[in-house]
Structure 1
Amino acid sequence: MTKRQKMPDWFEEIAAEFMKPPYFLQAQFDAKSGLNTTAAQAAQDVPPRSFEPRSGNGQRRSTAGGVRQASAGVPTSDEEATSDVRHSGPDLCQARPPGTRPRRSTTASGANDPLVPATVLERYPIDVDRREQLPDILRVVTEDEQRYAVKRTTISLPHVWFIHKMLKYAQKQGFTRCSKLLMTKKKSPGVVYGGNVYYASEWIDGQPANFASAEHVAQTAYALAQFHEATRGFTSEKFVPEDAFDLLEMTKQRNRDLRQLLYRAEAMKDKDEFDQLFVSLKSALQDDAAESLQLLQQNECAAFLSHDKTHPGICHLDVIPGNCLYAPDHNVHLIDFELSTFAPRVLDMAHLLRRSLQVNNWSGDIAYACFLHFDTVKSIPKVEYRLVEALLKFPYRAWRLAHTRYNFFKDPAQIDDLLAYADQEARRQSFLKSFTAQVRSLSVGDD
């Protein structure tokens, strides 16, 4: 790839490692209902329950098209749980996994809504005029035309408190690209009712970001970078989700899992189209996975992550179009912070890059837009590019498809997705080769 005029070397950088294949989202969760996911698991993009230290990333949570049960031990009322809580973030538009049918939008004023009982709404200091059931949330309009998104979630009430306080802290630091949680009459950011946890947030007008658009990607990158910096210094005395700084261990686990998946595919007597294609990619997949691990084992990478952890920021970790709303003011507003946790910002960079590069057939222009806006908020040092390089090098998309197919469920779309991965592989490798060369060419001073 060629350098852009007057553009930093990092033009072609981290592109596509952390992208979550949409359809895993709820399907995995439905397949494994009852399993709790931690923010750390999500941070690693690891599908629910398997070899992971966390569960599947943007794809298994209550975010897309479904709800999970509250974790055991949660108090039965918001008052009883306040002693141990923190806040959670808004969660309005969320991606729906392919193959699932969207719920019909209905305006209802009946006693109970499919996801949010009327009793839950009564806990809030609002006068409901009408309600509209959307795929993942209930949109509520008050008599004074205020709008809110009400959601049934699978995280605990203490976790909701964590998100609420984290967002409040970020807003005090000047971060405004998110909505606030609505407090109940008893001053709690959430409600526990019937064994489920609910929370409400201000409605944001906007459309899911288009990751094929450089403008949308740029504004998403800027919002994510601002959010990460605005949350540095935030502390929580009670509930704290597991952090996501151990990228080396994450990659080691993925490497082991990839080898096991390939072994299983090879051992099958009657291989289907997916099995055959996956096995045919074995050599390239293992080479990329090994190189990713080697990069993360470099001393400078470990030192950077260790230092960053001493004054960490928070990553969103569910960077999908439906959680990044492009508003009429041309800014992107972030919603659904249920996976957010203390983590190096390269995770959000990689999530955004992987997704946007795949839909743009690995065009360097889209990567430049992302890097430029992260760099605008805080300069990107050479070692951070190395981390991005490592994350992108791992054959994430192929691994995740196989992990889901062999451990959870089969879906015809998986074959199409693996074919798409194979078709883009030449472009991906060309991009990564150029990116690697540019990272290597950066001067030591850039660290």
Structure 2
Amino acid sequence: MIRRMRTRPLPPWMADLVKELLRPPYFLQYLHQHPQSGGSPGDTGEKAATTSPGTPASSAATSRPASRVRDVPRVPHRAAASGSSPVAGASKEARGWTPKPRQDVVPAAHGSAPSARAAADDLPAGPLVERSGRWQHAFRSARIPPAVAKAYGWTVQSAEVGAGVVRVRTKRGVFALKRTDIPPDRVRFMHELTQHLNADGFDAVPAYALTKSGDPFVQRGQAVYYATRWVAGNPVNFSSLPQVEAAAAALARLHESSRGFEPDRESPAWAFDVADLTRRRAEDLRTLLVRAEAARSQDGFDETLLRLAPQLRKDAERSLRILESSPCQAFLKEDAELPGVCHLDVIPSNLVFTPGKRVVLLDLDLATYAPRVLDLGHLLRRVLQAQNWRHEAAYTCFSAYHQVRPLSAEEYLLIHGLLVFPYRAWRVAYTRYRLFRDPAQLDELRAFAEQEPRRQAFLEAYENQLQLRVP
């Protein structure tokens, strides 16, 4: 007995592939698009180019010589209702078949030059048309349903998957679309904060796109999606003093412009208990060191960490003693009366150095009310690590920040306490023992150990210049 096979519909990607393979040749499409023309762009010495999202219209790799179109004999189209019977063996054109023009092929504009908008967005110039099914694949690969574009009212022209975001080019402009697990109220807080900053004259944060219903996010089930204006540039290079200076100035303006900001809804939890945060990290560091000591077969990472253990414990205790001191606690209590908002995720990928040589702050997912020393201390630590704890790097950060608003003696003391804590060693140990193991973790710990003499020398020199000290 022969069973009939059950037919199943093709998956979308395979259906698009079959559709692409069954499309008519390029020259038939051009003849259909220009039925009155005796030739093609080749008649004027130009080339017809296939233009796709992410490909320049003038690219020689995708252009087609005009001769391939000009040498094709014209076949007049016949209407299907003309009443004449097609001759057996005649071509599809002779039988009245009309080739469907490809949506992703357009002739290049004559003498087209990159537009100012395209240059500003760091995207290829030239005509861009929507590729049926292409941008949807980019959305799905980033776990973003294509319906999100409909919620924003976008006519998508192209989409490219980047590091954590999808760059979406639409008729309204270019956006960075992101999937996140943060609640919608936090996205509203970020949007309202951006509006407040822009109204105060601080435009170094990209504006949020609004949906057709006026919301700064789209929610589908438990997932939340939001989009901001695309910012062209590169991550800040912490080894470059000019870029470090621009980053410190941008953070200082963020802290100042956000003072007095009051959201319409409940704000995220504040982060003023710096001593409690450091206490929990110090306790965790001690637990990780015990775990390394108890390992049955110690590897290179365990041995390196245990060699550093005495100094790590000493620095953690010293850091906590500074942050718990009376001057620091009194200042934090006073500073919380008129708080500013801190970014709290100061990493190179969230600081974009633009062609205009300024820094734009991205990703406010962790932003909340906090003492500004958290952002500045985090920036300082990363910059000093990148520059092997050079004094010039710290001076550049402090000088740029000071021009916006000077730091108090208590804030310099707080920053000292934050820098004393062995954050880099704790972080890599936490990742290895609690999250996952990776061979690069040993290299990271060895890099910390190699810089340790210079770090201790810097901390000693820093402490000698403080007006307030903790015994």
Q: Counterpart amino acid of 2:309?
A: K
Which aligned runs of 4 or more in structure 1 are off by greater than 3 angstroms?
none
TM-score by length of 1: 0.73
> What's the secondary structure of 2:207's corresponding residue?
coil
Q: Partner residue of 2:190?
A: 163
User: Structure 2: which 5+ residue stretches go unaligned?
Assistant: 1-120, 122-132
Q: Partner letter of residue 164 of structure 2?
A: D
* Shift, 1:344, TM fit: 0.5
Who is 1:133 aligned against? Answer: 161
User: For the Cα contact (< 8 Å) 2:288–2:433, is it kept in 1?
Assistant: yes
* Counterpart contact for 1:362–1:427, Cα < 8 Å: yes
For structure 1, the 5+ residue unaligned runs are 1-91, 93-106, 443-447
Q: 1:266 aligns with which of 281, 293, 296?
A: 293
Counterpart position of 1:424: 451
Q: How far apart, in 2, do the equivalents of 1:261 and 1:285 lie?
A: 11
The answer as to whether partners of 1:209 and 1:324 remain within 8 angstroms in 2 is: yes
**1:254 to 1:441, Cα distance in 2 relative to 1, 3 A:** closer
Aligned to 1:297: 324
In 1, the alpha carbon distance for the partners of 2:468 and 2:392 equals 19
How far apart in 1 are the matches of 2:213 and 2:163?
28
* Alpha-carbon shift at residue 351 of structure 1 (Å): 1.1
Q: Distance in 1 between matches of 2:253 and 2:467?
A: 27
Q: Return the structure number with greater relative CO, CA threshold 8 A, min gap 6.
A: 1
Give distance in 2, aligned partners of 1:298 and 1:409. 36
Instruction: Give the number of equivalent residue pairs.
Output: 336
CA apart distance, 1:136: 1.2
> How far 1:201 moved relative to its partner?
0.6
Match of 1:246 among 258, 261, 273: 273
Which residue of structure 1 aligns with residue 417 of structure 2?
A: 390
Residue 321 in structure 1 maps to residue 356 in structure 2: no
Q: Which residue of 1 aligns with 2:227?
A: 200
Deviations 1:134-190 (A, max 9, x none): 23111111136x111111111111110010001111111111111100000000000
Q: Which string of whole-angstrom CA distances, capped at 9 and with x for unpartnered residues, describes residues 192-250 of structure 1?
A: 02431001111111111101001111100100110011111111342321111101111
Structure 2 CA distance for aligned equivalents of residues 361 and 384 of structure 1: 23
What is the match of residue 154 of structure 1? 181
The Cα shift of 1:412 comes to 0.8
- TM-superposed CA distance for 1:296, in Å, is 1.1
Against the structure 1 CA distance between its residues 406 and 110, is the aligned structure 2 distance closer, same or farther, given a 3 Å change threshold?
Answer: closer
How much does 1:120 deviate? 0.3
Please give the per-residue CA displacement for 1:303-340, whole angstroms capped at 9, x wherever unaligned.
Answer: 11001111100010111111100011110000100010
| 2:240 matched residue in structure 1 | 213
Q: TM-score, normalised by structure 2?
A: 0.69
Whether 2:146 is the aligned partner of 1:122: answer no
Which of residues 372, 383, 396 is equivalent to 2:399? 372
Letter in 2 for 1:226: R
Quick check: 2:344–2:366 contact (8 Å CA) kept in 1? yes
Alignment check: 8 A CA contact 1:108 1:132 kept = no
The CA deviation at 1:125 is: 3.1
CA distance in 1, matches of 2:291, 2:380: 30
Hey, what's the Cα distance between the residues in 1 that align with 2:158 and 2:428? Answer: 41
CA distance in 2 between partners of 1:255 and 1:142 (Å): 49
Distance 1:441 1:309 in 2: 21
The answer to whether structure 1 residue 236 and structure 2 residue 263 are counterparts is yes
Q: 2 CA distance for matches of 1:262 and 1:133? A: 40
Separation in structure 2 between the aligned mates of residue 296 and residue 278 of structure 1, nearest angstrom: 25
In the alignment, does 2:313 pair up with 1:286? Answer: yes
Which letter does structure 2 place at the counterpart of 1:124?
Y
Q: Distance in 1 between matches of 2:232 and 2:174?
A: 10
Amino acid at match of 1:363: R
Contact 1:113 1:133 survives alignment (8 Å): no
> Which of these residues, 99, 109, 115, is aligned with residue 135 of structure 2?
109
- Tell me the distance in 1 between the aligned counterparts of 2:276 and 2:432: 23
Partner of 1:41: none
Partner of 1:59: none
Tell whether 2:366 aligns with 1:344.
no
1:309 paired residue number: 336
Evaluate the alpha carbon distance shift between residue 203 and residue 299 of structure 1 in structure 2; reply closer, same or farther with a 3 A threshold.
same
Q: Distance in 1 between matches of 2:446 and 2:135?
A: 46
Residues in 1 aligned to 2:410 and 2:162: alpha-carbon distance in whole angstroms: 43
Amino acid in the other structure paired with 2:447 = A
Hey, what's the Cα distance between the residues in 2 that align with 1:136 and 1:108? 19
